[in-house]
Amino acid sequence: MIDIKKILTYILCLIPWFLATLFPFNIEFYHSLNLPFFTPPDAFYGIAWTITYIFIALSIYKIITNYRLEDLKRYFKILIINYLFNQSFTLVFFSLENTFLGFISCLGTFISTLFLYEETTNLDEKSTKYLNPYVLLSLFATILSLTIYLLNAR
């Protein structure tokens, strides 16, 4: 039998990760920049981040369904910091058209992802595997963002 409560809980873990996509952004700004040779095609971002967000939500779901919320204060602090860095990228890079702040956002996302990975490992090592794509993608985004900033610094 389908457990609606579990499905709704998972959906509540997933939806927030897509909030930044609701804000308008200037894709022309991105295409006007000098981009490095290893820049993936535009479609890569939507596919890679969607899959990554699905896995992040799975990891969060596993943690919050196996622990009392009172026992997850440190986990939630790290998760919120990571979430804010992650979601800030669209605003600072595309809306403010600031490559440096975009890099800072990516770097903050990557560093806080490492902390999230460690905290998740401490709580439930099996849930950590869902964060592997996030660690790799945020590392790649940080390298790409730094390169874009350096190529376009004036």
Report the CATH number that the domain containing residue 81 is assigned in CATH: 1.20.1260
What DSSP string describes 16-52? GGGGGGGS---HHHHHHS---TTPPPHHHHHHHHHHH
CA-wise closest residue to 102 among 38, 46, 30: 30
Number of domains in the chain: 1
pTM above 0.85, yes or no: yes
Give residue 59's domain range. 4-152
From first to last of its 154 residues, the chain has per-residue pLDDT tens of 788 999 999 999 999 999 988 888 888 999 999 999 999 999 999 999 999 999 999 999 999 999 998 999 999 999 999 999 999 999 999 999 999 999 999 999 999 999 999 999 999 999 999 999 999 999 999 999 999 999 999 7
Q: Tokens 């595997």 belong to which residue?
A: 129
Complete DSSP assignment for 76-133: HHHHHHHHHHHHHHIIIIIIS--HHHHHHHHHHHHHHHHHHHHHHHHH-HHHHGGGHH
Q: What's residue 23's pLDDT?
A: 81
